[in-house]
């Protein structure tokens, strides 16, 4: 996983690779094939949009990419290494250090201020208190939320809460940012601001996978993967060999 944690890279390099990944959920008598043989690759530094109708498996896919869930079949290689072979502790460490999440419903902790919400994931990294504070404050500034550091989520608008959630994701300087309909609950101005920030992070080298229903927002990404009934219906791979930006 040394490769994964190395940030700078000149040549195109596959960061995420799924081979025939399936995810079956069993509840009562029902078996749902949320993912049915998904193969895709994402290069380091790519910005990929994922779209498709409700229930087609987008959140399931993002959960697997973010090591929150595991495939029931197939293989996931992250930085060239099979995720199935990692210990739970190593997975948790990778999730904390290398992956940032942004959710549709913000997922902020209600009894913590904006600054404390952003700082929390850094606590698990064992960073010194001052560095945590500095990083959290810088991330909030980046998201245009410095003037709301002491506010609680209930005192913030939806757009502001999502900007705090973005700050929380970027404070850890993740290698991969996974965003599940980050603009789904926002008006168009706030939605565009969030996508604009994702675009900036992408230009700085962060690899981004963003689920979105909005074609305008998907256009900010280099390519769009389309899912239908748990399958990729548009190519899961960059179009040019070694090329990262103008796929499918």
32 is a site residue for ligand ATP (CB under 6 A): yes
Tokens matching residue 58: 């987008």
Torsion, Cα of 96, 102, 106, 109 (10° steps): 10
Q: Which is nearer to Mg ion, 59 or 224 (CB)?
A: 59
Tokens matching residue 79: 């930085």
Let me know: does 210 contact 234? Beta carbons within 8 Å.
no
Near Mg ion by CB under 5 A: residue from 59, 113, 190, 224 = 59
59 is a site residue for ligand ATP (CB under 6 A): yes
At residue 127, the 3 state secondary structure works out as coil
174 is a site residue for ligand ATP (CB under 6 A): no
183 is a site residue for Mg ion (CB under 5 A): no
Q: Could you tell me the smallest distance in angstroms from the CB atom of residue 185 to ligand ATP?
A: 12
Q: Could you tell me the smallest distance in angstroms from the CB atom of residue 72 to ligand ATP?
A: 12
Q: Could you tell me the smallest distance in angstroms from the CB atom of residue 234 to Mg ion?
A: 18
**By CB under 6 A, which span of 7-15, 26-34, 142-150, 154-162 interacts with ligand ATP?**
26-34
Interactions with ligand ATP, residue window 70-89 (CB under 6 A): none
Name the residue number minimizing CB distance to Mg ion: 59
Q: How many CA atoms lie within 13 A of 86 on its CB side?
A: 20
- CA distances for 139 relative to 51, 153, 175, 239, angstroms: 28, 16, 15, 34
Taken in order 60, 80, 118, 127, the sign of the CA dihedral is positive
Instruction: Return residues touching ligand ATP (CB under 6 A).
Output: 25, 27, 32, 34, 54-60
């Amino acid at each position: 996983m040394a490769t994964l944690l190395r940030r700078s890279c000149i040549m195109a390099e596959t960061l995420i690779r799924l081979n025939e990944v399936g995810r079956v959920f069993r509840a009562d008598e029902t078996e749902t094939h949320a993912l049915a043989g998904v193969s895709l690759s994402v290069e380091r530094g790519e910005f990929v949009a994922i779209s498709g109708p409700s229930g087609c498996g987008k959140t399931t896919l993002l959960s697997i990419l973010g090591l929150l869930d595991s495939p029931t079949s197939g293989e996931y290689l992250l930085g060239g290494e099979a995720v199935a072979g990692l210990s739970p502790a190593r997975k948790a460490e990778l999730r904390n250090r290398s992956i940032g999440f942004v959710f549709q419903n913000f997922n902020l902790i209600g009894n913590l201020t904006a600054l404390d919400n952003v700082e929390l994931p850094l606590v698990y990294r064992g960073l010194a208190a001052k560095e945590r504070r500095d990083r959290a404050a810088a991330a909030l500034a980046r998201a245009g939320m410095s003037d709301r550091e002491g506010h609680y989520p209930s005192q913030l608008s939806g757009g502001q809460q999502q900007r705090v959630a973005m700050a929380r994701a970027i404070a850890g300087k993740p290698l991969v940012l996974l965003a599940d309909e980050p603009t789904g609950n926002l008006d168009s101005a706030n939605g565009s601001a969030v996508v604009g920030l994702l675009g900036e992070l992408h230009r700085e080298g962060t690899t981004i996978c963003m689920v979105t229903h909005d074609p305008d927002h998907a256009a900010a990404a280099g390519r769009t993967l389309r899912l239908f009934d748990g399958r990729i219906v548009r190519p899961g791979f960059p179009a040019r060999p070694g090329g990262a930006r103008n796929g499918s």
